Structure 1
């Protein structure tokens, strides 16, 4: 008999890498068999298939976060050819789990498959979303690619051993293996102004989680409001100024606050659709699927400026964004109406958003 510290290792992934999920569990258990007695460490794998239970009261991903991610000391995230389904907070459940783990400043091990793809199960939209997410990570993380299941097993086994030899990865744990109590941070109690909410939202949705300090506003009042927002967020630990740079970057606390931010519209095209619809005669936008293509119209005005596939996809995504957040409501076939929440939202955020987002798109 021996006493050990127990660390939980969550295995996160979309649904197309089932084999790799079970291989990851095997690697964890193999490490325990070979090292736990000598190292006085036991790794406890967490998988939603075995470690969640039925519960009500919140969206499914939030319940998974509470039951698993908040317990996780390490997250192993594996991707095949899919990113996963949007949760309303992140592009997929796996991405939301990675983001939450990052806000806790705990290790995330990222793996992407380069293996062959089953043509019968291939989803071009999912694959494109995955590649976009992967490209966003290149300059802000160190991830590993694998060519086969065996390649994944070998690499994960080596990496897990190295991680457990890196004492700095577990610096937040005391000698008993329990989490040290989190220090209260001033930023948790900060009441965000509309300007601060827009700054956080833009930074959180940008590559590398950073934005330029310079105001996008064109009036002295707007410039002052922008600069004051950044200064306040820096003071409260949500943003950090970079040395020898005009940029500010989100801190882990800033990302945590940004995930619960009330700013809803995050894309220029969604802003355009919302502004055009809310100022129309009927408060209605029509989505028309005709033989010569897809059209979005408000008061007989065509909103899609060109007919290329990328632009059409961006507008469809923008429309989905607005309906998901309750700013437009679908009634009947192809008709979308603004909601009372949309009027409140635009009244509060329109001045800032019109300066932040691309005016050539909004006009």
Structure 2
């Protein structure tokens, strides 16, 4: 049965050494949506630089990320392990800049630090920078430490439920939107901008009036949507397009027809297709 939900953008922030945790957070968010979205009237939309930022010149790289996703995010989940990150020109690292700018706007920010065993090729300078920054953060708020991926994923889901129920910033957003009779697609009153991959899937499926097929085998993984036929021959490609399907499903633009292998456009998906076609004709 259809229901209305407030969409909150969740930015996943981190240096480069916690790629696995970044995906675990995305998976945790999708699982949280499946279980709790209707109950709380909230849909969480994970965003990050790897999927939601396109190449662009004319400004500091971190400033581009800030404008593209940080400013429109309601929740920021930051993860660290052995690195603090790369200096941005204004802050000691990009992730640190994201954290402080997010906090400046009184938005919900959670920091998780891994206590797993360190790799052999650890950058000792980066580790010391992280340790120094951790001591600063311990005086500014409550951090969470973990050493197990399974428990970490469960923590994310549990903490999201606590935040949705009790965080003052989130509750203010929900209450304001619930008192507004006009549907709003995001808490920042801005339409979520689709990635290039999302656009390709919607356009190709819509033009052919076909389903989207995601076929994973022992030797290969393929993605089909109308005229779009992709051989996903690397783990990065598989992760990118699998994440794209998850995001489209989270936004209610496609629905899973068969165990993550077959998807179809929803009514909202067809509306998005019509809008994208109109935009293409205007260019």
TM range (shorter): 0.5 to 0.7
Cα deviation, 1:117-172, whole Å, max 9, x if unaligned, reads 1112x000000000000001111110000012122112212111111111513144
SS of residue paired to 2:66 = helix
Cα deviation, 1:188-216, whole Å, max 9, x if unaligned, reads xxxxxxxxxxxxxxxxxxxxxxxxxxxxx
Matched, 1:74 2:75: yes
Aligned to 1:175: 177
Matched, 1:94 2:103: no
Cα deviation, 1:44-97, whole Å, max 9, x if unaligned, reads 000111111122210100000000100110000000100001001111000000
Paired residues, what number? 180
Cα deviation, 1:281-333, whole Å, max 9, x if unaligned, reads xxxxxxxxxxxxxxxxxxxxxxxxxxxxxxxxxxxxxxxxxxxxxxxxxxxxx
User: What residue ranges of structure 1 are gaps of 5+ in the alignment?
Assistant: 181-363
| RMSD of aligned alpha carbons | 1.6
Q: 1:167 to 1:93 in 2, by over 3 A?
A: closer
Q: Which has the higher contact order (CA 8 A, sep 6+)?
A: 2
Matched, 1:126 2:126: yes
User: What residue ranges of structure 2 are gaps of 5+ in the alignment?
Assistant: 179-185, 190-283
Cα deviation, 1:91-112, whole Å, max 9, x if unaligned, reads 1000000011001100101000
* Partners of 1:172 and 1:179 within 8 A in 2: no
Aligned to 1:152: 152
> Any runs of at least 4 consecutive aligned residues in structure 1 with deviations exceeding 2 A, and if so which?
176-180
Distance 2:133 2:167 in 1: 29
TM-score scaled to structure 2, two decimals? Answer: 0.61
SS of residue paired to 1:55 = coil
Aligned to 2:256: none
Distance 1:20 1:50 in 2: 15
Aligned to 2:60: 59
Aligned to 1:273: none
Query: Which of the pair has more CA radius of gyration?
Result: 1
Range that drifts further, 6-15 or 161-170: 161-170
| 1:38, distance to aligned residue in structure 2 (A) | 2.4
TM-score scaled to structure 1, two decimals? Answer: 0.48
Distance 1:21 1:142 in 2: 20
Aligned to 2:164: 164
